[in-house]
Chain A
Amino acid sequence: MRALQFQRNLPRYAAAKVAGGVVPGFGARVGPLRLADVDEPALPGPGWQRIRPRLAGICGSDLSTIDGKSSRYFEPIVSFPFVPGHEIVADADAGRVVVEPVLGCLARGIEPLCSFCAAGLTGNCQNLALGQLEPGLQTGYCCDTGGGWSTAMVAHESQLHAVPDAMSDEAAVMVEPAACAVHAARRPGLDQPATVVVLGAGTVGLCTIAAVRRHLRPGTLIASAKHPEQRTLARELGADTVVEPGEVRRAVRRMSRSPMVGAGVGDGAEVVFDCVGSAASIDDALAIVRPRGQIVLVGMPGRVSVDLTGLWHKEISLVGAYAYGREAASPAAGGRAGERTFDLAFDLVADADLGRLVSAAYALDRYRDAIDHAANAGPRGAVKVVFDLRGEKNR
């Protein structure tokens, strides 16, 4: 089968880190990612089946890996060589499916389930390096499963969600990022805040805006977006006010009509969703969240240097939002406890027409162009770039 494979190759990884640091996406040209003909992965055990990706998205975490920027935190929960790609719509035995990529206890054949998997919080599974699979936090980071950037891979039945006939492949490939956004918006204790800020308007940011608007019902939703197309989409998806990143502190101050205290807003937003995950965005989040407010890191941060004095002084909660599972109740939006994140994500994609966020599709052999496009999506007026496997010969 044809696949883009990421190998453990330290010199190339170092080269990717240097190149990617200079030109985003350039790690694809010098790093450990290669297009190859490889054997299809074997079925790891009962409940597994072979699926054939139709579309597979390029995610920010993929780009971090390719450009050598991902955190060493992941080392014990990744196995090489792996085929990236965890935003997947594929053909399975029973029809089109979307893959829920977390490789939790069920997929690993571990009994009894860890307490998190038992509670439906598969994103928090504690056995990501155990069981019948090599380590891998998700499909796309595990050498045993393959990933979406290929013509074939394997998936456990617990990972598969049937795609309604009416839903296009483009919409379906957005279900996984939408699920991340829904999971962030459905954190317990965030119901109907007066003011919410979403920092960043890439795929995750835009999906979060849509999810917050529908699941949190905030009084005011302010979004920061760097590029004109992002600003237009942010408004369309539910932001009341959209500003450039450098303007967000003043925008929040004006909305709250509170004083500035140094570079920070005296009484800012109740919740800030940081969908960038950079030192600058976390800094902004700390400056604009109100005392005792909450910052939700939706974007993957990596190693950053941030002054946390404000967090301590303003008694701010800084929490992460990773993956999906089953969600808490959402009284404002009529959400019940225990709903599956992916089910909610399907609804969100359909309701907010998130399929429109897919801006470009590439064949595998144009992977360098695809990654270059994805790494520069904002400036090029794009949001989500995907691989289109539907026309691949070996499929």
Chain B
Amino acid sequence: MSRPGFVLEVDRSTPPILFHHGEGFRLEKLPPGSRVVYPAEPVAPLKDPDGAIRHALLNPVGDSQPLPSLLHAGMKLTIAMDNQAVPLPPMQKPDNRQRVIEIVLDMAAAAGVDDVELIVAHGLHRRQTEPELRHMLGDRIYDAFAPHGMLTQHDAEDHDNLVLVGRTEQGEHVELNKRAVTSDLLIYVNVNLVAMDGGHKSTMTGISSYRSLKHHHNVTGMQHSRSFMDPPNSELHNSTWRMGRLLAGAVKIFQIETTLNTDTFPSQFSFLQKREWEWSARDRASFLATSKSLEHVPPRIARSIFHGIKSPQRMTSVQAGEVEAVHALTLQNLHRQHLVPVEGQADVLTMGLPYLGPYNVNSILNPLLVMCLGLGYFFNLYRGKPLVRKGGVVIMSHPTRWEFHPVHHPSYIDFFEQVLAETTDPIEIEKKFEESFATDPWYIHLYRNSYAYHGVHAFYMWYWGAHALQHVGQVIIVGGEPRAVRRMGFKPASTLRDALEMAEDVVGRNPSITHIHNPPIFLADVT
């Protein structure tokens, strides 16, 4: 049985705490009385994941028949799947999606289904390269489908292949991939890394258009998602649920969701998963060797080392059937791994940001993604209320270089240079700039034909942090490039000690401090 997550109160005997810091780490001595929230240790994985998948497909939940009874010769079957934004880091082979889809395909073949198409549900993310697809799906699936054009990547700008399914009572357009919604059966295969993922959100983001996405990917929605990691209290989810229900009334959907444990890093980085006072001599040696060698290599090399990491995460559950019934079980399984009870809010929330977020697999965690990872994802890893009080301070540790991947994130560069130079207010940004970026023909061309995120995606990164921006009094980045940090309206600090001193100007002397020791991921249940 794995140990649950817990909250440590720092005292004089507490060793320095590890902070992720991009492609590196920092050991920081937190003031006595600070609290550190540790994730749970990885829960036991399924002993027989393939058997569990078959069982789930044959014993669906909710108002759904077993998968084989939904499959028949002559039907049109579409299998959509999450893209490589999850899990993080990308998992060691075989990926959950490969396992599930191989079994689904076996069942489809047994039923004589020969019109099968696979769609990677990118939404407005960049297309994946062949090696990335092969890693996610395995060579067998890739070679059987891709050469025949039956493995496609959703194109939210291919208007000939989008269909308006309808509009919700709130006027939300449900416009989705034509192949998916004109199929006799749409199977969606997900990897539910965090509580935000899955359910109706999968289809409503993954195979939809900008016209649809803008109903829930907007500043107001994000400011009223408290948090977006807690679906019942998330406007993002309210909207996608309304829209998803409309889709479910028009198309037969069979949802297959999987969860993972938090065995996030391979053995050479095992110290990242341990509590510092439990580090063995080997852990300390690995930490020192890793840290020192990373200090002496250029960021580009360090990045390629880190992006080579494949996570040993393993499947902890799989459930299939009707979307909402499936997702309720998924959340239970996810919470079993992620929930950590935390009492009360702090004046200051500290976090070390790693090299990777959902939008920079094999890419650069540029400053916008730093903001999104810290103020979007990490800040929102709560249920109940934020870990930091209203008007408090968030201190993030990350190099935050003024550096962008020119192929993957072209509109991000313009957003950073031109939009943020004018204003950092999400509402003003949305009003004044979003449409021109979203409809810019060049960004659309790069999204469709190169490997670029959609022109509007940079805006979503900023919106993702809109709730935090509204909530906190100041954001400080430790070790970040001052010019880049200031461009975002944040304050740079050289050391954590400096940052804490700066924070005192906002929250007063001797503030309460909570540090989130993440990743591995957890979800704070704040009371």
Q: A250-B413, A254-B414 are in contact. Are A243 and B421 (CB under 8 A)?
A: yes
* A257 CB within 8 Å of chain B: yes
Q: Tell me if A244 and B417 are in contact (CB < 8 A).
A: yes
Within 8 A of B (CB), among A243-301: 243-244, 247, 250-251, 253-254, 257-260
Chain B nearest CB from A235 CB (Å) reads 10
* B497 CB within 8 Å of chain A: no
Q: Tell me if A259 and B417 are in contact (CB < 8 A).
A: no
- The chain B residue with its CB closest to the CB of A260 is B442
Q: Which residues of A contact B436 (CB under 8 A)?
A: 254, 257
How far apart are the CA atoms of A260 and B452 in the complex, in Å? 14
User: Dominant SS at the A interface?
Assistant: mixed
* A49 CB within 8 Å of chain B: no
* A70 CB within 8 Å of chain B: no
Instruction: Choose from A243, A244, A251, A257 the contact partner of B441 (Cβ within 8 Å).
Output: A257
- The chain B residue with its CB closest to the CB of A231 is B421
How far apart are the CA atoms of A7 and B414 in the complex, in Å? 49
Instruction: Choose from A241, A243, A253 the contact partner of B442 (Cβ within 8 Å).
Output: A253
Q: Tell me if B418 and A254 are in contact (CB < 8 A).
A: yes
How many residue pairs bridge A and B at CB < 8 Å?
Answer: 29
- The chain A residue with its CB closest to the CB of B419 is A254
* B445 CB within 8 Å of chain A: yes
How far apart are the CA atoms of A259 and B447 in the complex, in Å? 13
How far apart are the CA atoms of A243 and B417 in the complex, in Å? 8
- The chain B residue with its CB closest to the CB of A247 is B417
- The chain B residue with its CB closest to the CB of A256 is B442
Q: Tell me if B440 and A251 are in contact (CB < 8 A).
A: no
How far apart are the CA atoms of A364 and B517 in the complex, in Å? 64
Chain A nearest CB from B489 CB (Å) reads 16
How far apart are the CA atoms of A258 and B440 in the complex, in Å? 8
Q: Which residues of B contact A254 (CB under 8 A)?
A: 414, 418, 436, 440
Q: Tell me if A241 and B418 are in contact (CB < 8 A).
A: yes
How far apart are the CA atoms of A253 and B406 in the complex, in Å? 15
Chain A nearest CB from B114 CB (Å) reads 41
Chain A nearest CB from B367 CB (Å) reads 15
Instruction: Choose from A250, A257, A258, A260 the contact partner of B417 (Cβ within 8 Å).
Output: A250
Q: Which residues of A contact B441 (CB under 8 A)?
A: 257-259
How far apart are the CA atoms of A251 and B413 in the complex, in Å? 10
Chain B nearest CB from A291 CB (Å) reads 17
Within 8 A of B (CB), among A224-254: 241, 243-244, 247, 250-251, 253-254
Q: Which residues of A contact B417 (CB under 8 A)?
A: 243-244, 247, 250-251
How far apart are the CA atoms of A247 and B419 in the complex, in Å? 12
Besides A247-B418, A250-B413, A257-B436, 5 new A-B residue pairs in contact (Cβ under 8 A), listed by A number = A243-B421, A250-B418, A251-B414, A254-B418, A254-B440
Q: List 20 A-B contacts (CB under 8 A).
A: A243-B417, A243-B421, A244-B417, A247-B417, A247-B418, A250-B414, A250-B417, A251-B417, A251-B418, A253-B442, A254-B414, A257-B436, A257-B440, A257-B441, A257-B442, A258-B441, A258-B442, A259-B441, A259-B442, A260-B442
Closest 3 CB pairs of A and B: A247-B417, A259-B442, A254-B414
Q: Which residues of A contact B (CB under 8 A)?
A: 241, 243-244, 247, 250-251, 253-254, 257-260
Q: Which residues of B contact A (CB under 8 A)?
A: 413-414, 417-418, 421, 436, 440-442, 445
